[in-house]
Amino acid sequence: MKCPHCGVSFHDNWASGWIDRFHQATTWKYHTADCPACKALTIVIEGPTGMTRMVEPTTTSRGPISVHVPAFISQDYNEACEVLPISPKASAALSRRCLQNILNSLGYIAKDLAKQIDALLNETDPRKALPLGLHQTVDAVRNFGNFSAHPIDEKTTLQIIDVDPEEAEWCLEILEEMFEHFYERPAVAAAKKAALDAKLAAAGKPPSK
């Protein structure tokens, strides 16, 4: 996972223990890990039901996303980042809706997320097919607490599904990869082509193909 303080990946060096109250063991546990990059401490509390909550830091640090990502998509992503330390389940629900909006905008329309993911992964147009690495990570969404099997419509878009904190964070990382592939890289390529065509036009030559 990425360090919630500095955004740099840190090793899985968690130390755990029970929280004592009046010298009596309780069912509450704590998990701590220090980042070798920024040296900051991350603290996660685990309750009696197994639900976890990050208490340090209270917000997670992630790099800014591309300005080319549509606002209605980036808004869900940003909110998913903000609530991750408080509720991984809520963060995953927002990521789920964000993923659905991406697929809708790309023309993969279906009644539930699982079918949309299938359509994307089975894309035969080489211009739209995912690279191998991204194909594998998007496919992995199916394993997140039955993440993709729950239908999404106007009533269930933000349905809460059990996920681990690491799964919720991985959802954000998958979204970031999709932002780069579907929005950032095409925009950069288009800008480079426009600059080249401008130079060709100035030299009296036809535009590039």
| Res 18: pLDDT | 81
- 3, 26: one domain: yes
- 185, 156: one domain: yes
Q: Name the residue range of residue 4's domain.
A: 1-60
State pTM to two decimals. Answer: 0.68
Tens digit of pLDDT per residue, the chain (209 long)?
Answer: 677 777 777 667 788 888 776 655 567 888 888 888 888 888 888 877 777 777 777 666 566 788 899 999 999 998 898 888 778 888 888 998 899 899 999 999 887 788 888 899 999 888 888 888 888 888 887 766 556 555 555 555 556 667 777 788 888 989 999 999 999 988 888 888 888 888 888 888 888 87
- 92, 184: one domain: yes
Q: Is residue 205 part of a domain?
A: no
| Res 102: pLDDT | 93
Across-strand partners of 29? Answer: 18, 46
| Res 26: pLDDT | 65
Burial class (CB in 10 A: 0-12, 13-18, 19+), 4: buried
In the chain, count of helices (H) and strands (E)? 6, 4
Answer for the pair 197, 208: CB distance below 8 angstroms, yes or no: yes
* Separation CA 177–CA 180 (nearest Å): 5
DSSP3 helix / strand / coil % (the chain, rounded to 5):
45, 15, 40
E strand spans, 37-189: 41-46, 52-56
- How many separate domains does the chain show? 2
Q: Is residue 186 part of a domain?
A: yes
| Res 60: pLDDT | 64
| Res 36: pLDDT | 83
- 50, 135: one domain: no
Answer for the pair 150, 112: CB distance below 8 angstroms, yes or no: yes
